[in-house]
Structure 1
Amino acid sequence: MQMLCSLRRWLRGLEPRVRGHMNRPWLLRMLPWLEQRALFRFQRQPLARGVAVGMFCGLIPGPLQLPGTLLACAWLRGNVVAGGVATFYTNPLTTVPLYALAFYLGALVMPGEQILPAWGSVAPGGDFSVQALATWMQALGTPLLVGLPTLGLLLAVLGYATVQLLWLAPALQRKRRLARCRSTAA
């Protein structure tokens, strides 16, 4: 619990540093809009929204993850820094398992039987390459297109709820402690 409190203090201390960078001449005209959008507020709601957006946009292919996160955070008033950091759960090591999970989620939602194409059918010798990954993703087809947004929404909800619980955990623990003290005093 002590770690959660120190994380909250660190996040609150990060806000003035980020705001210090916002005083650049080319950003001063946009500052009122950025302030209204809560893009750089390190409070519970903007952080939770930013993490949720980052978890959803993390499944967007390639270089569109961060621009998508920035636009969605501006639209939903989420923290851009938290959103950008949250997209890093996808990387070359996690992309294939996440896409396979998305395929299975899409197959659950879609009617009929859907079969995951084997990696060996698209990559001779089982070697990994970007071209083999692109071919495999095309072979996944419609179940992947249905499963990616489904998995993204599921991860976004989990990310939002996790931030809310972690932020409120010290307050809930303090409330329980006070209740125990009151019950023993009475």
Structure 2
Amino acid sequence: MASTAPGVWHRSAAWCRRNLPTRESMERSRMLRPVAHRVLAPELWRFTRRSVPRGVALGMVAGVLFPVAQIAIAAVFALPFRANVPVAALTTFVTNPLTTPFILVAAYWIGTWMLRLDAPVVAQPVADAATNWLQWLWKAGPATITGLVVIAVVAAAVGYALSTLGWRLWIARKWRTRHHHNVN
């Protein structure tokens, strides 16, 4: 078991490095062109103990709440919060074609529970659904949106806390290794 953990860690780190947006890709983005000079500021691309957790939290919010242009939205969100832009952009990948259906169903359940909607919206037969899908969406929309906001806030808080803890553990490991090499 212990031998698989480093392998998983290295594969995850390699995936992150491959998918981490580069300054050049952000510079070429048409959506970011109006704010590119701000998004590309060097202080927003440094990995610090404060900017990384902020980037994770903002990436979670952008990833969960916005169905399109998540990376651009996360990059713009990073500006006022002085968050790490690449981390914010990478964290938006928490929502993808595999996770989105589960997030939407969970959001609907959470929203229904929070809004105390007693009669759940049930999918109708295909013939009725073809003509009434807007009505169904209208009924399910408020619950789903409420649930998405709750999921985004909780995911941002958990992501912030876990990335802060991970940063501290990483620094502690570096200090232990440095101390061990200095003693020997």
TM-score range with shorter-chain normalisation?
A: 0.5 to 0.7
Q: 1:19 to 1:101 in 2, by over 3 A?
A: closer
Residue aligning to 1:53: 58
Deviations 1:92-126 (A, max 9, x none): 2221210111122222322x3345434x53x839x
List alignment gaps of at least 5 residues for structure 1: 12-17, 126-131, 177-186
Match of residue 117, structure 2, among 113, 129, 135 = 113
Check the 8 A contact 1:65/1:87 in 2, yes or no: yes
State yes or no: 1:124 paired with 2:121.
no
Q: Are the aligned partners of 1:103 and 1:116 in contact in 2 as well (CA < 8 Å)?
A: no
Q: Secondary structure at the match of 2:44?
A: coil
Task: Give how far 1:145 is off.
Answer: 1.9
Give the C-alpha shift of residue 82 in structure 1.
Answer: 0.7
Count, aligned residues: 164
Q: What is aligned with 1:87?
A: 92
Q: Which runs of 5+ in 2 are unaligned?
A: 28-32, 128-132, 177-184
Alignment root-mean-square deviation, CA: 4.3
- C-alpha deviation, 1:31, in angstroms: 6.0
| TM-score, normalised by the number of residues in structure 1 | 0.64
For residues 115 and 90 of structure 1, do their structure 2 counterparts lie closer, same or farther at Cα, with a shift above 3 Å needed? farther
2:162 matched to 1:158?
A: no
Return closer, same or farther for 1:64/1:170 CA change in 2, 3 Å cut-off: closer
TM-score by length of 2: 0.64
Aligned-pair identity (%): 26
The one-letter code of the counterpart of 1:117 is V
